[in-house]
Amino acid sequence: MHDPDITLTSPLPGAAGPGAPILALTVLWHPDAGRVGAQYLEPDARGVIELSRFLPLFAHPGEDGLGLGHGGVSRLPLRIAREADGRLSLAPPESRMAVEVNGAEIDRPVVLDAAQLAQGVVLGLGRAILLCIHWTDRLPRDNKVPGLLGVSSGAIKVRELIRAVAATDMPVLLLGETGTGKEVAARAIHALGRRAAAQLVAVNMAVLNEGLAAAELFGAARGAYTGAQSARTGLFAEADGATLFLDEIGNTPASVQPMLLRVLESGEYRPLGGDTDRHSSARVIAATDQDLSGEDFNQALLRRLERFVIALPALRARREDIGVLMLHSLEQAREDGAQPAPLPFAFASACANYDWPGNVRQLAHVLGRALLEMRTGHEPVFETLVNVRRGTPATPASAMPGKRRALGEVDEEEILAALHNNGWRIQGAAGELGISRPSMYKLIEAHPAIRRPEDIVLDELAENLQKSGGDVERCAALLLTPLEALRRHLRGLGLLS
């Protein structure tokens, strides 16, 4: 398997491995939105950081540094010092400034252990500014890639890998939890590559009918199966000379996996019921949130897919990016015509301290709902919007890997919240709720508010697609219907290309 840790990174001088990390402070939230994402890197591993209104200087790549500069931050310094065994001590100043560590206010020195620092520590100052204290092994770099935001080492590395592989035609396997941006990464690889002028053809392998999956991918001759009144082209033919994105590749029917292996090896395939082989030069990008190393997945196919692997980190593993992502979501709301009120500091702090099992997608949806609350004159309540009870762990037990719930434990509000958090994608919602995909289908079928696309009248479909600007995910949220089923139905009606 390709190892992303040794490919095209930008290591810091003197930080030749995990044994020599650099301590960094990243601005997660600031009344001046332009300061969000600015960073300070401690150059001296033996030094003490004195954090005040004026020092140290935080900078964006290529720009001059500035102090935090806010009146709520004390002129007297808060001291951050390295201790033994990878720990840090944090001593608040003798001032009236409120100091919070991971959302809890402190009034005396605390010691942060290695495990806390590995997760990123959220430091609140004066109930106005949020910083993330974390380790880094990369220099800040302004290497923009469409849709992939972040100032963390992980984000920098992913963007560099995308730029490197985009210049080739080799297959790419994208790994990451639901909501980490696998489809965004796939589209970026296509947009930065030699095939950018051609279309990117995308299919979710989890929603393919097992009996017709081969015909969907490779086409079929007339009469090849019941109901085949005419010849079918197939996605590999459609993506010839372009890019084919196979999302949720781990859900590929077993009968189709050897066919995929053959087309990846030689470019050759045979349509269902056909008598001659055809050739496709489609560049394949696959994505999954599953472990493909088990016996349920064709291991020879995996070897072909993993010629170049990009692992997209979970949001909880790059907490220093949460502020940049929050700011982006708020800016998108303004572009959509909304004029959101300033986000309350307590809500921003809760966002920064949450572990986000639905990752970037869940964060964006929660912020969208928070803005709706504020527009109607209500204060957004974080626990309500993410369906977390006070006093429970930041990551809900239902989202912990390997934990499954009985259907009777899942209420109707939870189902809707999980679908909203995951862009009305069934697989992601099932993962968040801690249930299987078939169980999720049962809950959707029984839910009184969730609709089948086939049951929605044509005028309502067209009206909401126009209202959402052609964005099918937004349209699904407006109609309260699963995304992939809606996409297929709109294509069948000719409302979507």
User: Under a CB-based contact definition with an 8 Å cutoff, are residues 157 and 4 in contact?
Assistant: yes
How many beta carbons lie within 10 A of that of residue 227, not counting itself?
7
Query: Residue 414's pLDDT is what?
Result: 82
- What integer pLDDT is reported at residue 405 of this predicted model? 56
Query: How many other CB atoms are found less than 10 A from the CB of residue 104?
Result: 10
pLDDT in tens, 238-270: 999 999 999 999 999 999 999 999 999 999 998
Q: Is it true that domain 10-136 has CATH number 3.40.50.970?
A: no
Top pLDDT among 138 and 387 is at 138
Q: What is the pLDDT of residues 329-352, one digit of tens each?
A: 888 877 666 566 788 999 999 999
Report pLDDT for 1. 34
Query: Can you give the pLDDT at residue 216?
Result: 87
Q: Which residues pair with 88 in a beta bridge?
A: 82, 112
pLDDT-derived band at 3 (thresholds 50, 70, 90) equals: very low
What's the mean pLDDT in 292-303?
91
Answer yes or no: is pLDDT of 8 > 60: no
Count of H helices and E strands in the chain? 17, 17
Average pLDDT over residues 353-370: 91
pLDDT at 164 over 90: yes
Q: Give yes or no for residue 31 having a pLDDT over 50.
A: yes
Domain 169-307 matching CATH 3.40.50.300: the answer reads: yes
Write down the pLDDT at residue 394: 39
Domain spans, the chain: 10-136, 169-307, 315-455+457-493
* Mean residue pLDDT across the chain: 85
Count other Cβ atoms within 10 Å, centred on residue 149. Answer: 18
Separation between Cα atoms, residue 480 and residue 322, nearest integer Å: 28
Q: What is the mean pLDDT of residues 303-308?
A: 95
Residue 18 scores a pLDDT above 50 = no
Over 50: is that where the pLDDT of 11 sits? no
When pLDDT is averaged across residues 167-195 and rounded to a whole number, the result is 95
Q: Do domains 10-136 and 169-307 have the same CATH topology?
A: no
| Helix (H/G/I), strand (E/B), else coil: 154 | helix
Residue 271 has a pLDDT of: 86
